[in-house]
Amino acid sequence: MDKFVGNLKIVSMLKNIISLKTIGHAYMFSGVDGIGKMILAKEFAKAILCDNSQDWYCNNCESCKVFDNSPDFQIIEKEDDLIKVDAIRQLGENIMLKPTTSNRRVFIINDAECMNESAQNALLKILEEPPSYATIILITSNKERIIRTIKSRCTIFEFAKLKDEELKSIFEEENISKEMLEFSNGSAGKYLKLKNSNYIDSLMVLEDAIPQSNLLEINRIFSDFKKIKTIKEDINDILDLMIVKLGNNLKENSSKKIEQIELIEEVRNNIKRNANFEDSLDYLAIRLWEINSKK
């Protein structure tokens, strides 16, 4: 745990929960993707289950030794970008089973914002009367999509984005470019994606279209953009990067840039909801032209 980078105040608070033995039934770890929420949730779960924990886990007891395969620990993941009610109902059945290798049971719901309405309602029923030995940790990058009544039953920890120096220390790289730090937006996960991809080159193609007021030129740029080999798989990340880049330059012609940011967010969200890829990019091109043509 000494090697965990960033959000050390949260680490300290979690250690206090363990040392004071004031373990609650529900926690929410909220913040952007790629900043260590899952890493810390698993560490916290291990400490909760540890038989000899004083201020964290001992790594020597039976519970610690079998943690990765412990029957008292479970992670619920999304399938096809969704956590359905059946997965939460199964959690409800599992949570009623008494612990076997520890005195407690811990469940992590990753990407909790992906629970559909039925799943959230099923989870709410579990949280209303959880067994005394059970703890549920929700991990989310968008807590606004989780119903208020669930949030009200959770102790919420807001994770901050990582600072530039913290990113450098994680990857032991002192010479990360200013551009890479800017696009990583405080996320170690995003930095790794950028480092191992051609996102920057794709972004530069899209960036050429942002200020254009000539429709023929915008169409030419978008035609080239669509020809990029991995564009369909990478489009969400590329649009995210474009939003970050525009947001960091809001001082210049702010009203127009705000419109551009809102447009790109709209297109990104439509694509995430499985809107037609070609139609979405055509819509982005036309709307950019309309925004840039305003006097």
Q: Does 168 fall in a domain?
A: no
Q: Return the closest-CA partner of residue 93 out of 68, 114, 122.
A: 122
Give yes or no: residues 148 and 219 share one domain.
no
CA gyration radius for the chain?
22
Give yes or no: residues 50 and 114 share one domain.
yes
pLDDT tens for each residue of 60-80? 999 999 999 999 999 999 998
Q: Given this model, what pLDDT does residue 63 score? A: 93
CATH assignment at residue 43 = 3.40.50.300
Q: Does 192 fall in a domain?
A: no
CA distance 155 to 63: 25
Q: Given this model, what pLDDT does residue 88 score? A: 97
Give yes or no: residues 67 and 132 share one domain.
yes
Q: Given this model, what pLDDT does residue 81 score? A: 81
Report CA-CA distances (Å) from 209 to 20, 56, 287. Answer: 56, 52, 11
pTM above threshold 0.85? no
Q: Given this model, what pLDDT does residue 52 score? A: 86
Q: Given this model, what pLDDT does residue 197 score? A: 67
Q: Does 240 fall in a domain?
A: yes
Q: Residues 259, 262, 268, 271: is their CA dihedral positive or negative? A: negative
Q: Given this model, what pLDDT does residue 201 score? A: 74
Euclidean distance between the first and final Cα of the chain, in Å?
A: 56
Q: How does DSSP classify residue 137?
A: E
Give how many domains the chain has, as a whole number: 2
Give yes or no: residues 34 and 90 share one domain.
yes
CA distance 43 to 40: 5
CA atoms lying within 13 Å on the CB side of residue 261 = 15
Domain that holds residue 99: 8-160
CA distance 145 to 153: 15
- Taking 70 as the pLDDT cut, the residues of the chain under it are 1-3, 173-174, 196-199, 248-253, 295
Q: Does 3 fall in a domain?
A: no
Give yes or no: residues 153 and 32 share one domain.
yes
